[in-house]
Amino acid sequence: MNRRQFFKQAGVAGVGAAALAAPAIAQENPKITWRLASSFPKSLDIIYGAATDIAESVSKATDGQFQIQVYAAGEILPPLEVADAIADDTVEMGHTCCYYYIGKDPAFALGTAIPFGLNARMTNAWFTAGGGNELLNEFLAPYKIYALPAGNTGAQMGGWYRKEIKTIDDLKGLKMRIAGLAGEIMTKVGVTPQQIAGSDVYPALEKGAIDATEFVGPYDDLQLGFYKVAPYYYYPAWWEGGPTVHAFFNLEKFNALPESYKRILTDACAAANARMLARYDASNPQALRELVAGGAQLRAFTTDILDTCHKAAKETYADLSAKNEWFKKLYDSQQAFKQDAYLWTQIAEYSFDTYQMIQQRQGTL
Amino acid sequence: MNRRQFFKQAGVAGVGAAALAAPAIAQENPKITWRLASSFPKSLDIIYGAATDIAESVSKATDGQFQIQVYAAGEILPPLEVADAIADDTVEMGHTCCYYYIGKDPAFALGTAIPFGLNARMTNAWFTAGGGNELLNEFLAPYKIYALPAGNTGAQMGGWYRKEIKTIDDLKGLKMRIAGLAGEIMTKVGVTPQQIAGSDVYPALEKGAIDATEFVGPYDDLQLGFYKVAPYYYYPAWWEGGPTVHAFFNLEKFNALPESYKRILTDACAAANARMLARYDASNPQALRELVAGGAQLRAFTTDILDTCHKAAKETYADLSAKNEWFKKLYDSQQAFKQDAYLWTQIAEYSFDTYQMIQQRQGTL
């Protein structure tokens, strides 16, 4: 019996039936369309793709009732205005990084990554099971934002340099495209941070208008071709051991969702968070090979350089903690978690990986 | 206006209204109840909890329409009979490990972990973005099983030993509770694997009926108190660098689900997979401290011992690959992925972690 036959046999007038069916469905499966502003261009396909991944999950899980329209950086909003647009409900949702908003409060940095902070796995553990997500959202609530982790790149590379950086002196006076807290710490060790739009970085490096730039990791860096003009590719990005990309929601809009949609969205973000890291992990090795084949020179930052930067970072954190309550709260929580996490990581995890890498160098992995 | 008031004012009889609402919902949101048999006891609360995590997600995401009833090991099925019970549709779903079923085919081992295989993050990347999930499910289809990763413990510990294991000779004649492929490889280096029920392990160790046992990691091991009778706690479990716990589904039942339920279940498993690892990562450090305070003696397997076991593992894989097509397919896929993955991991990821651990030992992390 189809619905029309049923209505007929049940002897209920069509209009009454339609009116009647609505409330029961409306509570469970309302038709909703949201706009998501990404801070990323489509060319960063793995990062950008996490937003479409979430949108696809939500649409499929709700039989198309809950639609999220994804807009790349610049399509409806400049990339760094996503937080404000969510706060004033211009868009319901964003895909962005907390640390883009340190101009509002330096504590935003701790939502993404801070220099010498947590690695990707520890970041996920802190958010999920270390109280991190609750703490970050307590901090974000006055900004009318609710946030869920929705992507991680893993440890990034330390960027591209026109000349080798052998000692801390080689950093002095270096004009480097680097922003945020990392830029502030770099300033302390003598670097002159530069703010340049993405499309201008290559020509600036080529002409020597800047000496270095940081970006992401092999997969994304390969596209931009920096290796052709600044071949020294340093590691690690001590400022991004495992940065989180977040889904931002207008807090009221998220809270007003039916419980079922909240859970669907929450799991979709958790899944996208894991999938982004997996995609980078699966894509970086081949890109690394191509970069090296193209002339990229891999170089590790020396312990001396790292020590100097680490000391500068610690000073910065002490200063910020002294004058900023939220920075201190989030920093202390991450620090305690990090110290515990490395206590354990160094045992089984690190020794397993170390042995495997020894085998790899011997050609016996 | 609540629903009852609405019905009353709309002037429709209660029974008719209830009957009417059903068909429209039925197509999208059918009422389904599944039984999930776990291979794990409730006492392993993080592993077992991933199954209840999935059930909770699915229930919330469907407004209670899709219910999964979770049964702990032994409640409705013996722990190692989950795969068979799913194949014959006694239960629709399980939470178990592929490698429990190597008696059917040794290739099952590659669904969980093989000695000197992938670490947790690489495992996730292989399943998600390295073709692993598709390949494993092609292998599982004739067993009428569809599988999704639904938990990972991270690198495990190498177990508890009554005496120190200083050289490979100390392994010779050792009676150790260890199963599966790891047990076969241990046999090659002189160990005598023992099969003992979980509850009998402690008294057997205490009396010296066995000399050693492997288990999981600090959080789970602490509960069982092995450190009191076999204090040498070795690392790493070279046989479990990042074992995956799987959600198993009866293949036909999964395929018959509405698309929305499939996506909800898929994301719920992906989220649970990440959350289990996060919970272990957040819980292991404190447990490790308690174990050490209780007298556990941490010891690393020597490179000599690892080399001998690694060589034995390689021989085992060559033998199995020569006679088992599915073992070879899955193994070759994982091997290629692992070699790529460590190529990249050794650069930014490993150097970031290494520096952090140096700081930790210096007390400056």
pLDDT digit string (tens) for B231-254?
Answer: 999 999 999 999 999 999 999 999
Give A152→chain B minimum CA distance, Å.
12
d(CA A275, CA A281): 10
Q: What is the CATH number of the domain that holds B142?
A: 3.40.190.170
d(CA B86, CA B146): 10
Average the pLDDT over A98-126 and give the result.
98
Cross-chain CB nearest to A57 (options B238, B267, B360) = B267
* Contacts of A23 by beta carbon, 8 Å cutoff, 6+ apart: B3, B6
Q: What percent of chain B has pLDDT over 90?
A: 90
Cross-chain CB nearest to B360 (options A61, A241, A339) = A339
Average the pLDDT over B305-333 and give the result.
98
In a domain, B103, yes or no: yes
Interface touch B3/A10, C-beta < 8 Å: no
Give A10→chain B minimum CA distance, Å.
7
Tens-place pLDDT, residues B293-303: 999 999 999 99
What local confidence, expressed as pLDDT, does residue B27 receive?
52
Res A10 pLDDT > 60: no
* Contacts of A334 by beta carbon, 8 Å cutoff, 6+ apart: A110, A114, A117, A118, A126, A132
In sequence order, the β-bridge partners of residue A152 are A244
**Strand, helix or coil at B239?**
coil
In a domain, A319, yes or no: no
What local confidence, expressed as pLDDT, does residue A178 receive?
95
d(CA B224, CA B199): 9
Average the pLDDT over A155-173 and give the result.
97
In a domain, A226, yes or no: no
Write out chain A in H/E/C secondary structure. Answer: CCHHHHHHHHCCCHHHHHHHHHHHHHHHCCCEEEEEEECCCCCCHHHHHHHHHHHHHHHHHCCCCEEEEEECCCCCCCHHHHHHHHHCCCCCEEEECHHHHCCCCHHHHHHCCCCCCCCHHHHHHHHHHCCHHHHHHHHHHHHCEEEEEEEECCCCCCEEECCCCCCHHHHCCCEEECCHHHHHHHHHCCCEEECCCHHHHHHHHHHCCCCEECCCCHHHHHHHCHHHCCCEEEECCCCCCCCEEEEEEEHHHHHCCCHHHHHHHHHHHHHHHHHHHHHHHHHHHHHHHHHHHCCCEEEECCHHHHHHHHHHHHHHHHHHHHHCHHHHHHHHHHHHHHHHHHHHHCCHHHHHHHHHHHHHHHCCC
- Residue A124 has which token pair? 């996920």
Cross-chain CB nearest to B259 (options A60, A127, A350) = A60
d(CA A275, CA B245): 17
Rounded to 10 deg, the angle between the A259-293 and B325-345 helix axes is 80
d(CA A324, CA A99): 16
Rg (C-alpha) for chain B, rounded Å, is 23
Residue of A nearest to B351 (CA): A236
Of residues A57, A117, A64, A102, the one with CA closest to residue A247: A57
Of residues B44, B97, B53, B100, the one with CA closest to residue B72: B44
Interface touch A63/B259, C-beta < 8 Å: yes
In sequence order, the β-bridge partners of residue B161 are B212, B232
Tens-place pLDDT, residues B178-219: 999 999 999 999 999 998 888 899 999 999 999 999 999 999
Domain with B138 in it: 17-152+242-281
In a domain, A297, yes or no: no
Interface touch A274/B275, C-beta < 8 Å: no
Buried b / exposed e over A175-187, threshold 16 CB at 10 Å, is bbbbbbbbbbbbe
In a domain, A118, yes or no: yes
**Strand, helix or coil at B160?**
strand
What local confidence, expressed as pLDDT, does residue B196 receive?
87
Segments in B209-297 forming alpha helices (H):
218-224, 251-255, 259-293
Give A324→chain B minimum CA distance, Å.
21
Tens-place pLDDT, residues B79-133: 999 999 999 999 999 999 999 999 999 999 999 999 999 999 999 999 999 999 9
Buried b / exposed e over A281-316, threshold 16 CB at 10 Å, is bbbbbebbeebeeeebeebbbeeebbbbbbebbbeb
What local confidence, expressed as pLDDT, does residue B35 receive?
98
Residue A354 backbone class (left: φ over 0; alpha: ψ -120 to 50; beta: rest):
alpha
In a domain, B132, yes or no: yes
Tens-place pLDDT, residues B273-296: 999 999 999 999 999 999 999 999
Res A289 pLDDT > 50: yes
DSSP secondary structure code for residue B157 in this structure:
P
Which residue is listed with tokens 């059903």?
B22
Interface touch B63/A260, C-beta < 8 Å: yes
Interface touch A10/B16, C-beta < 8 Å: yes
**Strand, helix or coil at B55?**
helix
Range scoring the smallest mean pLDDT among A188-202, B238-252, B290-304, B344-358: A188-202
Average the pLDDT over B144-171 and give the result.
98
Interface touch B345/A357, C-beta < 8 Å: yes
Range scoring the smallest mean pLDDT among A218-222, A306-310, B4-8, B108-112: B4-8
Rounded to 10 deg, the angle between the A325-345 and A303-323 helix axes is 140
Cross-chain CB nearest to A344 (options B16, B264, B284) = B284
* Contacts of B7 by beta carbon, 8 Å cutoff, 6+ apart: A20, B14, B17
**Strand, helix or coil at B144?**
coil
Q: What is the pTM of this model?
A: 0.92
Res A6 pLDDT > 50: no
In a domain, B62, yes or no: yes
Q: What is the mean pLDDT of chain A?
A: 93
d(CA B273, CA A270): 10
Interface touch B340/A286, C-beta < 8 Å: yes
Interface touch B282/A129, C-beta < 8 Å: yes
- Residue A4 has which token pair? 């029309």
Cross-chain CB nearest to A125 (options B127, B278, B310) = B278
Interface touch A129/B235, C-beta < 8 Å: no
What's the total number of domains in chain B?
1
Interface touch B365/A338, C-beta < 8 Å: yes
pLDDT confidence bin for B20, thresholds 50/70/90: very low
Mutation target to probe the A interface, by most A beta carbons within 10 A, among B25, B346, B353, B360 is B353
Integer CA distances (angstroms), B365 to A98, A259, A307, A340, B220, in order: 24, 41, 11, 11, 27
Cross-chain CB nearest to B16 (options A12, A119, A155) = A12
- Residue B19 has which token pair? 């009957």
Interface touch B365/A339, C-beta < 8 Å: yes
Interface touch A281/B129, C-beta < 8 Å: yes
In sequence order, the β-bridge partners of residue A307 are none
- Residue A109 has which token pair? 């940095």
The answer to whether the CB of A139 falls within 8 A of the CB of A359 is no
Average the pLDDT over B267-271 and give the result.
98
Give A81→chain B minimum CA distance, Å.
29
Cross-chain CB nearest to A264 (options B6, B61, B125) = B61
Interface touch A119/B285, C-beta < 8 Å: no
Cβ neighbours of A235 in B, within 8 Å: 347-348, 351
d(CA B224, CA A126): 26
Interface touch A23/B6, C-beta < 8 Å: yes
What local confidence, expressed as pLDDT, does residue A27 receive?
53
Residue of B nearest to A301 (CA): B351
Rounded to 10 deg, the angle between the A325-345 and A348-362 helix axes is 60
In sequence order, the β-bridge partners of residue A200 are none
Indicate the helix (H) or strand (E) that contains B344: helix B325-345
Res A346 pLDDT > 50: yes
Interface touch B129/A306, C-beta < 8 Å: no
Q: How far is CA B337 from the centre of its chain?
A: 20
d(CA B320, CA B106): 8
Tens-place pLDDT, residues A21-73: 433 444 568 999 999 999 999 999 999 999 999 999 999 999 999 999 999 99
Of residues B220, B263, B264, the one with CA closest to residue B243: B220
Cβ neighbours of A119 in B, within 8 Å: 349, 352-353, 356
d(CA B291, CA B217): 11
d(CA B51, CA B68): 9
Amino acid (1-letter code) at residue A4: R
d(CA A153, CA A51): 14
Cβ neighbours of A344 in B, within 8 Å: 218, 281, 284-285, 288
Give B292→chain A minimum CA distance, Å.
12
Of residues A70, A152, A79, the one with CA closest to residue A111: A152
Give A20→chain B minimum CA distance, Å.
7
Res A17 pLDDT > 70: no
Residue of B nearest to A305 (CA): B355
In a domain, A294, yes or no: no
d(CA A114, CA A109): 6
